[in-house]
């Protein structure tokens, strides 16, 4: 609702790149807690973040999220602590992440990628792809997120 729109506004103007003042920090914490979104004010997120159906979203503070990304209820963007994929995800521009999807480890998600609901992603995903399942199945598709990305900024 209205509260979620206020929370998203904090990211739409790329405010994280500038010095963050006390009022911004207070508003961020308030709306983050109200919408049950576990994320840090230091998370690097591009302009145009859109969170549809908030609640139970976890984003690792070291993750990087590109411009015009959509994140839905129950999504986890997390860290892997050992092995080949030790680290956190880097997510490109215009990525749509479906309900209850998990992206984990030092993986790179390309631009124009649609991650279907309930997918588990622990591998690199090239640009212009649709991903689904566990283990993830990757299908190339030009304009994979066409008509899916909400409230784009230019």
Give the residue numbers annotated as catalytic, written as ranges: 53
Task: Check the CA dihedral 84-136-130-36 and report its sign.
Answer: negative
CA of 25: how far to CAs of 28, 39, 40, 123, in Å? 5, 13, 10, 34
Q: What is the side-by-side strand order in the sheet with 76-78?
A: 37-38, 57-59, 76-78, 102-104, 120-121
| C-alpha 152 chain-centroid distance | 14
Q: What is the DSSP letter of 45?
A: E
| C-alpha 115 chain-centroid distance | 11
Q: What is the DSSP letter of 120?
A: E
Gap between the Cα atoms of 55 and 91, Å rounded: 20
């Amino acid at each position: 609702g209205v509260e979620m729109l206020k929370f998203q506004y904090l990211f739409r103007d790329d405010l994280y790149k500038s010095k963050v003042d006390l009022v911004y920090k207070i508003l961020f914490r308030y709306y983050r807690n109200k919408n049950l979104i576990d994320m840090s004010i230091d998370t690097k997120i591009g302009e145009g973040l859109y969170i549809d159906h908030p609640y139970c979203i976890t984003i690792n503070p070291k993750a990087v999220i590109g411009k015009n990304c959509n994140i839905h209820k129950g999504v986890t963007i997390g860290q892997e602590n050992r092995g080949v994929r030790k680290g956190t995800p880097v997510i490109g521009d215009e990525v749509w992440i479906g309900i209850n999807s998990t992206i984990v480890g030092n993986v790179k998600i390309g631009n124009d990628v649609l991650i279907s609901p309930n997918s588990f992603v622990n591998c690199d995903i090239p640009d212009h792809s649709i991903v689904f399942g566990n283990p993830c199945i990757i299908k190339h598709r030009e304009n994979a997120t066409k008509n899916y990305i909400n409230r784009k900024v230019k």
